[in-house]
Structure 1
Amino acid sequence: MSENEELVPTGTAAQRIGVHRGTLVRWWQRGLVAPALITPGGQARWDVDNLKRQLRDLREEGSG
């Protein structure tokens, strides 16, 4: 986890990267991105910096 970044719920993570919550959930369900933590209740918690890195890596894979 990033030093200055807390783990945030899915809706907050989606907002911070500029997509709808449902879009982030679909990406997660398809295995394109992974949360930093899944709570015992099944809720995802995201490190936004790590999520941005995952998306950047996906774009690079797709363009190569």
Structure 2
Amino acid sequence: MTRPTRQARKSGITRRSRHARQRRSFGAPSMAVCDVEPPLIRSTELANKLCLSRRTISLYAKQGLITPAIITPGGQYRWRYDDVLAEMRKLAEECRAEHK
């Protein structure tokens, strides 16, 4: 067993339990941090969130209706959900304006 540090001895926490606590707290970052960008997601995940097929997402991207955040060296698209949602809302508004 490892010897606890001076600060750990004062608080009664050993290194092992501190490490275990850090592992348990691993997860989604706190929402208090404002300058962190949302994570990039794959086309399948985006399609699931939008209730569309992956093929539809790819088709929209090829037509230029939505733009991926990045394209990997292998040619795969990575998306930011909020950006795509904003683009699709803008398209919907433009479509409604045309048909009035």
From the superposition, tell whether residues 3 and 57 of structure 1 become closer, same or farther in structure 2 (CA, over 3 Å): farther
Quick one: which amino acid aligns to residue 76 of structure 2? Q
Structure 1 length normalisation: TM-score? 0.88
Gaps of at least 5 residues in structure 2 are 1-34
Give the total of aligned pairs: 63
Bigger-Rg structure (1/2): 2
Equivalent-residue separation in structure 1 for 2:75 and 2:84 (angstroms): 18
Equivalent-residue separation in structure 1 for 2:51 and 2:93 (angstroms): 19
The Cα shift of 1:3 comes to: 4.1
Q: Which has the higher contact order (CA 8 A, sep 6+)?
A: 1
**Counterpart of 1:32?**
65
Quick one: which amino acid aligns to residue 85 of structure 2? K
Sequence identity percentage? 33
The two structures, once aligned, show a CA RMSD in angstroms of: 1.6
Deviations 1:14-41 (A, max 9, x none): 1111111111111111111111111111
Q: Give 1:55's match in structure 2, choosing from 61, 80, 88.
A: 88
**Counterpart of 1:10?**
43
Structure 2 length normalisation: TM-score? 0.58
> Following superposition, which runs of at least 4 residues in structure 1 exceed 3 angstroms of deviation?
none
The Cα shift of 1:49 comes to: 0.7
Gaps of at least 5 residues in structure 1 are none
